[in-house]
């Protein structure tokens, strides 16, 4: 997980911001923010402790996102508008310019489901998997970080 080295210091600040942002009466909004915070914390701790991808993916959650969809949650409550170049801090995330929080959250959910399914298909492990799991996990992390950065950019 050497790809996480560059962003580990900013991650602590984002997690702290999300903790503060989760203080809301909107239950679905609160759960989505807490889940994003917790997932970023899983990445941070997995990096610090050199945890295998099998363990990391096992701990990632997407229940809040799926509950939000079931309950017709308006993702604009997290952050209205579209991602602009000024919201993107990593070159690899430039492809998400123009996306909304809802579209980004949908891709995050999709990737979590895909990673968990790949693991299940292979008997509960990524061992001997042909998919590029480090790349998939890395992409997922940077999408989550972008979502948190974008939400943070709308707070005053």
Which residues neighbour 74 within 8 Å (Cβ) at sequence distance 6 or greater? none
The residue to which tokens 């909304």 are assigned: 100
Domain boundaries, the chain: 2-153
Quote the percentage of the chain above a pLDDT of 70. 94
Residue ranges in the chain assigned as alpha helix (H): 8-21, 27-48, 53-59, 63-70, 101-121, 133-153
7, pLDDT greater than 70 = no
65, pLDDT greater than 70 = yes
For residue 10, the model assigns a pLDDT of 76
Which residues neighbour 69 within 8 Å (Cβ) at sequence distance 6 or greater? none
Cα–Cα distance, 114 to 122 (Å, whole number): 12
53, pLDDT greater than 90 = yes
For residue 66, the model assigns a pLDDT of 94
pTM of the model: 0.91
For residue 1, the model assigns a pLDDT of 56
What pLDDT digit, counting tens, does each position of 97-143 carry?
999 999 999 999 999 999 999 999 999 999 999 999 999 999 999 99
For residue 11, the model assigns a pLDDT of 83
């Amino acid at each position: 997980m050497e790809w996480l080295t560059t962003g580990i210091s900013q991650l602590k600040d984002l997690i702290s911001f999300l903790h503060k942002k989760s203080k809301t009466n909107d239950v679905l909004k609160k759960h989505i923010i807490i889940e994003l915070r917790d997932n970023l914390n899983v990445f941070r701790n997995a990096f610090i402790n050199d945890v295998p991808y099998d363990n990391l993916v096992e701990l990632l959650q997407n229940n809040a996102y799926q509950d939000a969809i079931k309950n017709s949650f308006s993702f604009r409550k997290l952050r209205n508008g579209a991602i602009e170049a000024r919201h993107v801090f990593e070159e690899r995330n430039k492809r998400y310019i123009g996306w909304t929080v809802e579209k980004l959250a949908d891709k995050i959910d999709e990737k979590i489901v895909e990673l968990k399914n790949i693991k299940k298909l292979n008997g509960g492990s990524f061992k001997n998997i042909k998919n590029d799991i480090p790349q998939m996990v890395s992409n997922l992390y940077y999408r989550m970080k972008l979502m948190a950065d974008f939400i943070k950019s709308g707070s005053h």
